[in-house]
Amino acid sequence: MEAAGLWVGFVASIGTILQLSGEVIKYIEDTTVALAERQSILREIIATNEVLRSFEDRAKRDDCKPSTNALKALQEPLDQIRVVFESLKRELRPAHTTVGRIVGSTTWYFSKHKINNMVSKISRFNALFASVLQNEHLYCFLSLTC
C-alpha cells in the first residue's frame, strides 16, 4: 500500500511542477528582451519537463511502475526544483496594470550570473531525473525479460 501512495504523490508532485514550469515558460516567452538568456533557460526548462513527463507517464502505467526507491530518491529533488520554478514565477510574474505589463515585457530582471546559476541548477536536476529514468527503464526491461 505504501508504494501506491508514493506513486500517487509522485504523479501529483510532477503535475504541480509541470504546471508551474508552464507558467514560467509563458512569462519568459512574454518578455521581449534578453533573447539569449531567455532561450538558454527555456531550453533547460523544456528539457526537464520532457523527462518529468516521461516519469509521469511511467508512473501512470500498470505494466512497469517506477521502483519505490526511485520515487523516494526523487522526492527531495522534485521539491527543490519546485522551489526554483516558484522563485522564477514570482520574479517573472507580470504586473496587473497596463503600464506595469508594458514595462515588464521590456525588462529582464536577471543578471547573466543569476541566469547562468538558474540554468545550471535546472540542468543538474534534469541530468539527475534523466539518469534515474534511464536506470528505471533498464530495471523494467530486465524485470520483463528475466
**pLDDT tens track, the chain, 146 positions:** 466 677 778 888 888 899 988 888 887 777 766 667 778 888 899 999 999 888 788 777 766 666 777 777 788 899 999 999 998 888 777 655 565 555 555 555 667 777 788 889 999 999 998 888 888 777 666 665 54
pTM, full prediction: 0.71
Q: Whose grid coordinates read 527531495? A: 76
32: helix, strand or coil = coil
The CA-based diameter of the chain, rounded to the nearest angstrom, is: 64
Name the domain count of the chain.
1
Q: What CATH number does residue 120 fall under?
A: 1.20.1410
Cell of 24: 514560467
Q: How many CB atoms lie within 10 A of CB 5?
A: 10
Q: Which domain holds residue 118?
A: 2-145
